[in-house]
Structures are given as structure tokens and as C-alpha cells.
Amino acid sequence: MLAPFNIPCDVNNIRGQLRHHWLENQILNKTPEDVLFIFQNEKKWNALETEFEYRIAQAIKLSDDMIEGFSPRQLVEKITLLSSLSNDTKILLKDKIHKIYFENSNIQSISTRFKDAVKFLSDDIKALKKEWGETTSGENNAIKEKYQAVLDSATLLYNLIKLLPKGVALP
């Protein structure tokens, strides 16, 4: 998808937060050994306990909103130069450019796969939290295994989030 100028849109903020703050800097930068180290030495992992659930909800919302959120049709209302067009023309223009964007961008497929990947990651995070709450220090491998599953599903989601445009998409 073509997105020159990083034209701002709300979903792009969310995309950036999920990609950089969450996936890159809270999950993918840790190995199973790192997480085991946290488990053994600090007992608590604040982000896992308090933040990941919110990020999952944010990611689900992004998968719901991304088709419209990156659509160039929002520009027809935002750009003042187009404000003098009649309402009928605006509607026609919006419909036409959204249709072309939708057909050419593969955004529907990304949205569907994104939703699935979020579900996988959510399940794996839940399993890790459960293990964290139940396991004893003698069962360290279980933490590492659960975290490896989190890493695998986070990588899947990360590869999809990299496909998203960094601003309003132009067809």
C-alpha cells in the first residue's frame, strides 16, 4: 500500500504503539531465558500482568478498524481544498477512491489474518499467565515453553503489522 507523507490517522498511532512499544520492545526483545530470569528473580512481570490485556484489546480494535482507518476517503472531508465540492460529488469521490483502495490494497485479507494472529497471541499470553501463577520454581521449562509460544505468535502478528501503511493509504 502506498502511503507517502505519513498522512496522520488514528489507526496509524495504534499501529505504531503495538508494533514498537508492545511487540518489539516488550515481547520480541526477550528470549525465553530472559523471561525465566524475570520469573525467578523478580517474580512479577508488570507488563504481562497489567498491560498485555489492554494491548490485545487494542489489537482487536485495530483489526476491526483498519480497513476504514487507513482509507483515503477520510481525506475528502479533511482537506480544505475539497470542502467546496458539492455533497453529491464528495460522496461519489469518497466511494470511488475507497473502492479502488479496497480492491488494490489487500487490506481485507490483512485484517482477517491480523484478527487470527491476535487470537493466537492472546491465547498464548493467557497460557503463560496461567503458568506464571501456578508453576513452582522447579518447573522452569514450562515458563520457557509458554514464552516460546508467545514469541512465535507475536512474530506472526509482527509480520502482519509490518504490512500496514504508515499513514493514510493512497490507491
Partner 1 sequence: MRCVVIIDSKIIDTKGLSAYLSESVKDISWRVATTISEVDALKANMLFIHINNKGASNYITQMCLNYDEIYITSAAPSINQLNRVEGCKKVKLFDVPISDENGWKTLPWGIAISEWKDGELFPIEILRRKHFTFPEALVSAYLILVAEQAELIVSDDELNKPSLWENAGRQFCEEVEKRKLTIPNMELIPKTKWKHPKGNNVSKCLIAVRSLFQNIEGAQPK
Beta bridge partners of 170: 2
Which residue, chain included where needed, has cell 502478528? 157
116 binds partner 1 (CB under 8 A): no
Verify binding: residue 162, partner 1, rule CB under 8 A. yes
Which of 125, 159, 104, 3 lies closest to 53, judged by CA? Answer: 125
Among 50, 92, 109, 137, binds partner 1 (CB under 8 A): 92
Q: Which is nearer to partner 1, 98 or 146 (CB)?
A: 98
- Site map 42..71 versus partner 1, x via CB under 8 A: ------------x---x-------------
How many angstroms separate the first and last alpha carbons of the chain?
7
Question: Which three-class secondary structure state does DSSP give residue 2?
Answer: strand
Nearest CA to 56 out of 104, 120, 103 is that of 120
**Interface residue list for partner 1 (CB under 8 A):** 2-8, 12-13, 16-17, 20-21, 24-26, 29-30, 34, 54, 58, 72, 75-76, 79-82, 84-86, 89, 92-93, 96-97, 99-100, 162, 166, 170-171
